[in-house]
Structure 1
Amino acid sequence: MTPPQPFKALCSYAYFRTPIFTSFLEELHVGPAQVFGDSGAHSARTLGITLTIPDYAAWCHQHGHRLTLYANLDVIGAPEATWRNQKELEARGLEPIPVFHTGEPWAYLERYLDEGYTYIALGKLLGNPVPDVLAWLDKVFKITRGRAVFHGFGLTVDRALREFPFYSVDSSTWGSGFRFGVIHLFDAASGRWTRVHQRDRQALLQHRDLIRAHHADPLAFASKATQDNTAAAVTAAVAWRRYEAYIRARHGPVAIPPGPHNPVTWGGATAAPGLHLYLAESTTTNLRRAVTGVHTLQQEARA
């Protein structure tokens, strides 16, 4: 029997730079868990937070034994600055995953490959037309020719995940549905997503079996009086975990090629084959709720 996948979360320094993060990480790893540490540079700009290499490096060092990997402090639109930050973090004894963005010269991707980076994050994917993203990804995978695998930041475009064998991706979309009163359900048998609006009793009745298959009671979403935010987050986590398993089966195991720079095996860890889908979230509350759903699936897999 294949052992169940651990809980997977992406936590950004921009949101999780307080002392409470230490105890929260310990709580997550009871599961066990894979935690992707990100600088949260894009969020920091939105929040008006200034991130510095020394502070971010200290955070990575402090939590490195609990983080599966951590990303470079990237600078969107400034590939040379991103490269310098990569080297500065390495000079401080760290091994971050490098980041290459849409719109940057292809020579920078070639530079990462020539330097022996075999696991690279792709950024600035959001906000671009889907056909443009697909064409750009096609060129990325053709240039690398199996020399590297990729993490897609915020990549939840279904067609992209079905077409390209990513090693990992992260999604904040997993929480957007229940925030706006929509339940996203994934049917692994058909490979399709279903959207059900909370309080839409006819739709809840129509999809009651699929909702129950996500370990939720349809009545929890039937009215304002019965609305259960925990159940909504659990359902979302279960749906995305099943989607992860579906995409992983579609492409088969995706392994990181050997090389001198591996942010996962740094420190002696083992890099499990992908796909790995990390749930990105800025609050501990919803991640705790998501853990409940994933642990339910783990228990189901062991039964």
Structure 2
Amino acid sequence: MTAAFKALCSFAYFRRPSFGELLGELHAGPAQVFGDSGAHSARTLGLTLTVQDYAAWCHRWDNQLTLYANLDVIGAPEATWRNQKELEARGLHPIPVFHTGEPWHFLERYLDQGHTYIALGKLLGNPLTDVLAWLDTAFRIAEGRAVFHGFGMTVWDVLRRLPFYSVDSSKWLEGERFGVATLYDDRTGSWSRFLLRDKSAVLRNRDLIRSYGLDPRVLANRAHFTARRQEFTAAIAQSYHRAEADLRTRHGLIRLPDGPHNPITRHGAPSTPGIHVYLAAANQTVLTRAVHGVRAAARAHAS
């Protein structure tokens, strides 16, 4: 069975009706789509997001979204809590969001309300030792009561240490943005990162590159790379599938505990065990390129 393509799409970037076209592309095959408010991005872009508009977006695409997060307010846990309750009052089932630096009693409040799937935010930009200590505390408090999603969390040492139910990352876009290849080597359980068109680096990683169905010469030649960009984007996306598989082997199947608030089973669908690694992107073109490439590679492998 073909693995589901997993994408995180934010309201801040996909507010227009054309989002339906992307959802159609994603759901042309097995897919899981995580809807996020994009509150952090909105602050960076100078956008104002309202809970009313976000609620309308969640309702509009409810049947195509696997789950969606609360409209969080970084640094204002009480406001985040109010948004959670307002979305729930509007008939929605958002996953709560709890940020580093917020009082622990807010996490306890979500747990006491019966939320068994909670997103952890504001993980980036802090010293790793501080983040690890904070995460250790969060996992200890929630043990047996809830599982976590890590926003932007793809620090490999952290993922190997802690059993997240799901995470997302936009780091896979480095190839598109900066010409950097990041490929997972499941033979060694590690990542290889090198500059595209660096012939010596391509030579060192030629076996790994070939394992993704790519010709190393493509990455060493600008004209060839431009013509076959979809294959490269697909390889990077596949890399996260391989890493996800290794994390599942390491941690075992991570299941959502039973509880009154399950954002995934709201329509009666089962919640599949984690870990789930979602690819975050703000651009419809790159997600379309990735999903088409991944599925084309899967068909080629099966034939």
Offset, 1:239: 1.0
Which residue is 2:192 aligned to?
194
Offset, 1:39: 0.3
Offset, 1:169: 0.3
Distance in 2 (CA, whole Å) between partners of 1:284 and 1:301 is 26
Equivalent of 1:137 in 126, 135, 141: 135
Asked if residue 82 in structure 1 is aligned to residue 80 in structure 2, the reply is yes
Distance in 2 (CA, whole Å) between partners of 1:175 and 1:266 is 31
Distance in 2 (CA, whole Å) between partners of 1:97 and 1:115 is 12
Distance in 1 (CA, whole Å) between partners of 2:109 and 2:297 is 41
Which residue is 2:263 aligned to?
263
Counting only pairs closer than 5 Å after superposition, residues 189-228 of structure 1 correspond to structure 2 as 189-228=187-226
Which residue is 2:116 aligned to?
118
Which residue is 2:283 aligned to?
283
Distance in 1 (CA, whole Å) between partners of 2:164 and 2:201 is 34
Counting only pairs closer than 5 Å after superposition, residues 52-201 of structure 1 correspond to structure 2 as 52-201=50-199
TM (norm. structure 2) is 0.96
Offset, 1:297: 5.5
Distance in 1 (CA, whole Å) between partners of 2:176 and 2:184 is 14
Q: Deviations along 1:217-239, whole A, 9 cap, x unmatched?
A: 21221122222332331221111
Distance in 2 (CA, whole Å) between partners of 1:24 and 1:199 is 31
Offset, 1:178: 3.7
Please state whether the residue corresponding to 2:278 is helix, strand or coil.
Answer: strand
Offset, 1:298: 4.0
Q: Taking structure 1 as reference, are residues 301 and 64 closer, same or farther at Cα in structure 2, changes over 3 Å only?
A: farther
Q: Deviations along 1:49-103, whole A, 9 cap, x unmatched?
A: 1100111000000000000000000000000000000000000000000000000
The answer to whether the 8 A contact 1:183-1:235 is kept is no
Asked if residue 34 in structure 1 is aligned to residue 32 in structure 2, the reply is yes
- Gaps (5+ residues) in structure 2? none
Q: Deviations along 1:88-136, whole A, 9 cap, x unmatched?
A: 0000000000000000000000000000000000000010111111111
Please state whether the residue corresponding to 1:254 is helix, strand or coil.
Answer: coil
The answer to whether the 8 A contact 2:235-2:294 is kept is no
Distance in 1 (CA, whole Å) between partners of 2:186 and 2:293 is 17
Please state whether the residue corresponding to 1:14 is helix, strand or coil.
Answer: coil
**One-letter amino acid of the counterpart of residue 15, structure 1:** Y
**One-letter amino acid of the counterpart of residue 37, structure 1:** G
The answer to whether the 8 A contact 2:2-2:30 is kept is no
Please state whether the residue corresponding to 2:184 is helix, strand or coil.
Answer: strand
Distance in 1 (CA, whole Å) between partners of 2:95 and 2:14 is 19
The answer to whether the 8 A contact 2:248-2:275 is kept is yes
Q: Deviations along 1:193-236, whole A, 9 cap, x unmatched?
A: 11121111122122212101112221221122222332331221
Identity between Structure 1 and Structure 2 (%):
62
- Gaps (5+ residues) in structure 1? none
Q: Taking structure 1 as reference, are residues 244 and 293 closer, same or farther at Cα in structure 2, changes over 3 Å only?
A: farther
Q: How big is the alpha-carbon RMSD for the aligned residues of Structure 1 and Structure 2?
A: 1.4
Q: Taking structure 1 as reference, are residues 163 and 7 closer, same or farther at Cα in structure 2, changes over 3 Å only?
A: same
Distance in 1 (CA, whole Å) between partners of 2:143 and 2:273 is 18
**One-letter amino acid of the counterpart of residue 91, structure 2:** G
**One-letter amino acid of the counterpart of residue 6, structure 2:** K
The answer to whether the 8 A contact 1:73-1:86 is kept is yes
Distance in 2 (CA, whole Å) between partners of 1:232 and 1:151 is 27
